[in-house]
Structure 1
Amino acid sequence: MPSDTVREDIRTFLTSRRARLTPAEAGLPDIGGKRRVSGLRRAEVAQLAAISVEYYTRLERGNVRGVSDEILDALAAALRLDDVERAHLVALVRAANAPHRLPERDGGASHVRPSLQQILDAMTGAAAFVRNAHLDILATNRLARALYREALDTDDRPPNLARFVFRDPRSRRFYRDWDGIAHDAAGSLRTEAARTPADTDLADLIDELASVSDGFAERWEAHDVDHYRSGRQRFHHPDAGDLDLDYDALEVPADPGLTLVTYTLSAAAPHAAAFLRLAEASADTRRDDGSCHR
């Protein structure tokens, strides 16, 4: 990603964050009169961050050379950024200040170590898979193959969750909260794009999705960032029916850029019987090579 693009990303991110805040939400008095901008003015952000309007204007234009952590903290507080958004801003600033530095992680890793596959295979009561930061599914266990069989039913190798969400109409039935998972997918890719601005494979994936999916393009232009970390995902499985599963996404410290995603359910949960039937059906299938190929 050229430095000009990074500067533009900083500009659009900061302007989109101040556009969503009203003076009242930011704790500023309402002085009346017609406002020509949506959300906060630059002067109001500067006031809240205790910096000059000129300096904030320079930052918003992407000129962030030498900006301190204290200033970034002040901006994050002024714009009410959450932890993910602040980390995104920091990543953009780092990229702008070191545009030619090689990425510190391989977000597009294409394989997993055998020991990771062994961990997946040992998890018989949870659906589990390993994905990279491009949202490619690299390895699965048996129950994950049963749960995600429609997403894995593709000629793409490896299968990609963002392509499934935005290009495969089956995803709208599979994810009962499709809007939520679409927001998470676009936000995760934007977060990774800031971390690895030189990743051309990721840039190609983003361009592809933006060109074929209005849903992705709209979410990408919103500049929202997100991490898929933990919560509850609501599925409609073609065989098992509705499943409300608890998910956890755990980064693999030994393999930066890889994430282990698990789906579990307590025995007393409403859909426990359906999940158990899916697990039993997956256990009856013939053992394959452990990859995400069908």
Structure 2
Amino acid sequence: MDSRTEIREFLSSRRARIAPERAGLPAYGGNRRVKGLRREEVALLAGVSVDYYVRMERGGLAGASDGVLDALASALQLDEAERDHLFHLARRSREPGGPRRRGPAVRVRPTLQQVLDAISDAPAWIGNGRCDVLAMNQLARALFAPVLADPRRPANTARFVCLDPEAAKALFVDYDQVVGAVAAKLRMEAGRNPHDAELTALVGELSTRSEPFRQRWASQDVRLHRSGRKRMRHPIVGRLDLDVECLELPAEPGLHLNVYTAPAGTPTADHVALLASWAATRQTPATESDAHNG
């Protein structure tokens, strides 16, 4: 999908969700032909001419200043992730087009694997914006054993969720939310790295083979992944209600560290300790980064 099409679909979808009353505008007439705001109403709220907004919604963001983009984000009531995505799309439209390219091989430094291994009482793993699992500690391998059943490396959580739905529904209590989160994360990454050939191939594969992913991808939703709650049913220890923190790694742009914890004294904390005991008895497979780099 080219950048003009993405801009048009993103802006029109955000405009369609805002009723005039929500934007503080009078809703004249009882038979509005458009869902949400009209283009002229968005232009009014953003402080630009109607013609200029129409050009922007048709994909013409290349000449828009940061001030105009901020005003547009406010008019459309974009959240932080949506605002970032708008700026990514604008930046992309200013750059000359280019062929899709394969990103450089990602190598997780040995010291980062040491950090993971030092986290002995919480599942922890390192991934990228394509949902690739690049390195894990022993407890994370145990927690995500169903994801690692696919022999392809690096393992990919998006592929597991969307292409092995029965196994994913068994593992994730809130399966529908997880599918939506996957699509929103990949949409955000596509705005950041539009020429990533591996990302393009992944989105194409998921769109072709997964109707739930295709529907959520079409929604144009984007999301920042920083923290949250993951409810899981592990085949060995049962129900786990885990708090998730997603931490960016400043020395490794594009990579993030995910750590899963539970408050002490809760059933989930007890189940995590049981999972750790079970994991210690298993033979440790090659790390994800080893398989990826090999």
Q: TM-score, normalised by structure 2?
A: 0.93
Aligned length: 288
CA RMSD, aligned part only? Answer: 1.8
Deviates more, 1:209-218 or 1:26-35: 26-35
For 1:229 and 1:108, the matched residues in 2 are separated by 25
Corresponding residue SS for 2:40: helix
Distance verdict in 2 for CA 1:35–1:178, change over 3 Å: same
* Partner AA of 2:31 in structure 1: K
> What is the rounded CA distance, in whole Å, between the counterparts of 1:108 and 1:209 in structure 2?
22
Cα separation, 2, equivalents of 1:253 and 1:175: 30
Cα deviation for residue 291 of structure 1 reads: 3.4
What is the CA–CA distance in structure 2 between the aligned matches of 1:225 and 1:162, rounded to whole Å?
A: 15
Q: 1:175 offset after TM fit, Å?
A: 0.7
Displacement of 1:252 after TM fit?
1.0
What is the CA-CA distance between 1:25 and the residue it aligns to? 1.0
- The corresponding residue for 1:30 is 27
The 1-side partners of 2:103 and 2:79 are apart by: 23
Does 2:234 align with 1:237?
Answer: yes
Q: Given the alignment of the two structures, is residue 126 of structure 1 paired with residue 122 of structure 2, yes or no?
A: yes
1:202 to 199, 204, 227: 199
Give me the whole-angstrom Cα distance separating, in 2, the residues matched to 1:77 and 1:52. 16
Of residues 219, 242, 247, the one that matches 2:244 is: 247
Pick aligned residue for 2:216 from 208, 216, 219 = 219
Q: Which amino acid aligns with 1:144?
A: A
Residue identity opposite 1:180 in structure 2: Q
Deviation at 1:197, TM superposition (A): 1.0
Identity of aligned residues (%): 48
Provide the C-alpha distance between the structure 2 equivalents of 1:243 and 1:272, rounded to a whole number of angstroms. 8
Matches within 5 A, 1:83-102: 83-100=80-97
CA distance in 2 between counterparts of 1:108 and 1:262 reads: 25
For 2:139, the equivalent position in structure 1 comes to: 143
Unaligned runs of 5+ in 1: none
User: For 1:125, what is the secondary structure of its paired residue?
Assistant: coil
Structure 2 Cα separation of the partners of residues 92 and 15 of structure 1: 14
Could you say if the C-alpha distance between residues 184 and 109 of structure 1 is closer, same or farther in structure 2, counting changes exceeding 3 Å? farther
Q: Given residue 259 of structure 2, which amino acid in structure 1 is its aligned partner?
A: T
Structure-to-structure mapping, 1:96-115, within 5 angstroms? 96-100=93-97, 109-115=105-111
